[in-house]
Amino acid sequence: MRTIKITPIGYVKNSRTEPIDDNWYPVESAIELADELPAECLDGIEEFSHLEIIYYFHRSSTDFIASGHPRENKAFPKVGIFAQRKKNRPNHLGTTIVRLLKREERRLYVSSLDAIDGTPVVDIKPVMKEFLPQDTLRQPEWSREIMKNYW
């Protein structure tokens, strides 16, 4: 299996130093551009209200699991790793849509980023309406349950 090499393009700075599953809403974060990248990479980004952040679960040393119970809760069905958003994924990548609060030169201030302090960011993309689902979502009941206290 061919290996792909990627490098952090920035790092998360916030007040959460331990991986905790819930209550992310009050956490505001800064994303600081990596030293190697010029500030102009962020030019024009403030025209967008929302950004998609792709990041790397750097503290997730836990092994990959092919399937398991969401939140290790046996009340929920056992489902494959690609049917849930758990950290124990093959490539330890996370993605989240955040709200952009402000840009300052090499730094973005965002809300609703569910990544802890020091997390390496590997990409930032602007969110466009045309890339969001245009029809109604269907999702299982367990996924609504685990999201109740997430934000």
- Closest to a second copy by CB, 18 vs 133, is 133
Biggest alpha carbon–alpha carbon distance for the chain: 49
- Closest to a second copy by CB, 18 vs 139, is 139
Spatial distance between the Cα atoms of 93 and 82, rounded to a whole number of angstroms: 12
Which pair of structure tokens corresponds to residue 55? 């990041």
Q: List, in sequence order, every beta strand (DSSP E) within 49-133.
A: 50-56, 67-68, 79-80, 93-104, 107-111, 120-126
SS3 label, residue 86: coil
- Closest to a second copy by CB, 19 vs 77, is 77
- Closest to a second copy by CB, 61 vs 133, is 133
Closest approach, Cβ 14 to a second copy, in A, equals 18
Closest approach, Cβ 111 to a second copy, in A, equals 11
Closest approach, Cβ 9 to a second copy, in A, equals 5
What residues line the site for a second copy (CB under 8 A)? 1-9, 34, 36-38, 40-45, 47-52, 54, 56, 66-67, 77-85, 89-91, 93, 95-97, 99, 120, 122-133, 135-140, 143-144, 147, 150-151
Residue 40 CB partners (closer than 8 Å, separation 6+)? none
Closest approach, Cβ 30 to a second copy, in A, equals 15
Burial class (CB in 10 A: 0-12, 13-18, 19+), 121: buried
